[in-house]
Amino acid sequence: MMNFDSCCLALLIATLSVTAVSTVLYWIFFARGEEKSRVWARRLLFLSWVLQSSYIVLRMVQVGNTPVTTYHEAVFFFGWAITTAYFSFRLRYQVKNFGTFVSPLICLLLFAAAFISRQVIPLDPKLQSIWLPVHASLSLLAYGFLGLGFCGGIMYLLQERELKSRKVGYFFSRLPSLEALDQLITHCVTIGFTILTLGMVTGVLWSRQVYGIFFRWQPKEIFSLLIWLAYLFQIHQRYSAGYRGRRTAALAVAGFSLLLFTLWPVIT
């Protein structure tokens, strides 16, 4: 009989395999336009989400707390958050070839998590609080939507570059219009920023409960504040200064690039 750790490893390998195949099929559809490839890519990505969710539940049982306190757990949960954000987005909106750009990011995060030590590190009892799972889950889910905004920004910049060349090239017929991509970026960043704000508030409350102060000026907290301010600037410029198009896309890409610096354990 397989032990608990072996079950987790088997589930992790299955998740990586399914996600990798889904990503390949998305790009086959992008290159060749084969509808069957797109259908199976979407099905497999949903299966990947089910496997990711199952792995997180098993890991939670194994470690005895919300699995976001190590490099491995935080990066894997980040991949799950982007997958979750993507499917929640698709419930209301259809964006041509969006999955082609989102799936590689998910795949990259899951594979990165797989190569990081899966060692279980007991959580310091003094850090245990109801605010911990709330704060960490909200923050990483926000990152998921901001990751979608990043993918939309990359798509926008590629499409804009093609249009400026005044030649109908590879991306023109395969990517949505610039207007649709601009709306996609704004939608994802607005949702992500809202959830991120809730994550910041719960993080402050958690810090107050555990350490007796609201802000400790630790690197993790400073980077989180910088990220929040960067997206606050983007939201402000969008709705107050009328930022559109390339500026919106560039800010979405830059903000997510800054966010990647926070990919160390949630607990520091």
71 within domain boundaries = yes
- Nearest in space to 93 (alpha carbons), one of 191, 15, 169: 191
With the CA atoms of 35, 38, 42 and 45 taken in that order, what torsion angle do they form, in degrees rounded to the nearest 10?
A: 150
pLDDT in tens, 24-45: 999 999 888 888 898 999 999 9
Predicted pLDDT at 100? 92
Predicted pLDDT at 52? 96
Predicted pLDDT at 144? 93
Asked whether the beta carbons of 18 and 58 are under 8 A apart, the reply is: no
267 within domain boundaries = no
Residue 229 belongs to what domain range? 4-262
268 within domain boundaries = no
Alpha carbons 34 and 156: distance in angstroms, whole number: 23
The C-alpha angle 112, 116, 120, rounded to 5 degrees, equals 135
16 within domain boundaries = yes
Query: How many domains, in total, are found in the chain?
Result: 1
What pTM, to 2 d.p., does this model score? 0.88
Predicted pLDDT at 40? 94
* Three-state helix/strand/coil letters over 189-229: HHHHHHHHHHHHHHHHHHHHHHHCCCCCCCHHHHHHHHHHH
Residues of the chain with pLDDT under 70: 1-2, 123-127, 167-169, 172, 210-212, 215-217, 219, 241-242, 262-268
121 within domain boundaries = yes
Predicted pLDDT at 61? 84
26 within domain boundaries = yes
Predicted pLDDT at 125? 63
- Nearest in space to 140 (alpha carbons), one of 235, 40, 56: 56
Predicted pLDDT at 223? 78
Predicted pLDDT at 104? 95
Predicted pLDDT at 268? 40
Q: Which residues of 70-93 are buried (b: 16+ CB within 10 A; e: fewer)?
A: bbbbbbbbbbbbbbbbbeebeeee
